[in-house]
Structures are given as structure tokens and as C-alpha cells.
Chains A and B, each alone.
Chain A
Amino acid sequence: ETGVTQTPRHLVMGMTNKKSLKCEQHLGHNAMYWYKQSAKKPLELMFVYSLEERVENNSVPSRFSPECPNSSHLFLHLHTLQPEDSALYLCASSQGARGQSPLHFGNGTRLTVT
């Protein structure tokens, strides 16, 4: 298996649930990202993990908690979400977190918060 794999593909959760999104990359990259894609809005960078640093968008609510145990795996832990958090969550990886390194994306997790 190659590329960037995200699970689950679809997730429906209530506002009081706790769930996690998983991302795994098989490209030997050393940087991983979480993006949020909402309808009629540009993709929003949530978190970046690389060898050098972790970067987060300060506008991301604390109910989203990332975890990166190694360079191949990335999680997004979700708790007490709101309906407006419903979106497509895209994971990506790259070789290096700067400059010309293109991002390779997974197929995303479609999250619906009820």
C-alpha cells in the first residue's frame, strides 16, 4: 500500500462523543498536516508536524487535539464537537515542511456532527 491513507472515510458523531481520525503515510515523508475543508471556504491548515517543529493554527479550537507518534502516523482526536465542525478533514504529508515540497493528500474523512 502506498500514499496517504485516512480512516475512517466517513464518521458521524454526536456532540458529546469522543472519536479519533487516523492518517498513515507510506511515502517516507517527514512532515504531516491536518487540513479542514468546509463547503464554500478555502482549505484551512489546522496543524503541521515536522522534524523541526509542530505548528498549529491559533484559531483551531481546543476540542481538536493532534497527535503524531512518529513520522508515519498522525491522529486527530475529537471531543465535544459542534455542528459547525462538520467538514472534510484532509491529511497530507511532504518531504520537508518548507518550500517546494508538494503535499500528498489522503482521501479525507467526511465528518458529520449531529
Chain B
Amino acid sequence: AQTVTQSQPEMSVQEAETVTLSCTYDTSENNYYLFWYKQPPSRQMILVIRQEAYKQQNATENRFSVNFQKAAKSFSLKISDSQLGDTAMYFCALRNNAGNMLTFGGGTRLMVKP
């Protein structure tokens, strides 16, 4: 079984500042993939960033980057230069290489304040 935990139900950040969303997970597999999805009020889940567990280098996509700590089973998302459009629910997710199930965390609601 695999689990994903997001311990911050809600967070807020001032526009242009940096915020970090936490995610921890548990899996018995050694080869897996981690994802961060964003769900704005429009309801569509949008892929933000993904990380292969076998890669040590942290993934980066423009203002979004991750801090992947494999030994600690931690996968946090850092948003730099926060924008009002970043306001959304953010979900961390895990998928084993051999499995077809994408397991989601409970989500963190992020509010970017002007």
C-alpha cells in the first residue's frame, strides 16, 4: 500500500513572496514517480511538476521547484514569486512504476494575497 500525506490544509502567502508546501509519502517500492497537481476554482487538475525517484536532481519548472528527500520520503513544492493566479488547491501524488494507481494526498489550499 502507498500513502501520501499533506499536513498543511491551508496556507497563505503574499504576492511575490515564496511559499513551500509539504508532502510526505510512504511506499515499499524503490522506483516510483511523484507529482504536484494544482486545482484552481475552475476544478481542472493541472500538472505542475513531476519527479522521478531515481533522479537525485530536484525538478524545476519556471517558478516551481521541488525539494525531494528520498530517504526521508519527503517531496515539498516551492513556489517562488507567488502570483494571484497561483491561488488553488495543490495535491501531491505518488505512482509506483509498476502500478496504475495514482495516490493523492488530501491537498493544501493556497491563497495568494495581494
Contacts and interface: CB of A to CB of B under 8 A. Distances in A.
Nearest to A9: B43
Contact of B47 (A40, A50, A55, A102): A102
B16 interface: no
Interface in B57-114: 91, 95, 97-107
Contacts, number: 58
A98 to B, nearest CB: 6
A99 B32 CA distance: 7
A102 B50 contact: yes
Contacts of B42: 107
B45 interface: yes
A45 B102 contact: yes
Contact of A42 (B43, B46, B95, B104): B104
A45 B50 contact: no
Interface string A64-91: 0000000000000000000000001010
A43 interface: yes
A100 B45 contact: no
B44 A105 contact: yes
Contact of B44 (A31, A100, A108): A108
A33 B32 CA distance: 19
Contacts of B98: 98-99
Given A43-B104, A45-B101, A48-B100, A99 B45 contact: no
B107 A107 contact: no
B104 A98 contact: no
17 contacts: A31-B100, A42-B103, A45-B103, A53-B100, A55-B101, A88-B43, A92-B45, A98-B99, A99-B33, A100-B50, A100-B52, A103-B45, A103-B47, A104-B47, A105-B37, A105-B45, A106-B44
For the complex of A and B, list the 5 residue pairs with the smallest distance between their C-beta atoms, beginning with the closest. A105-B45, A97-B100, A43-B104, A99-B97, A108-B43
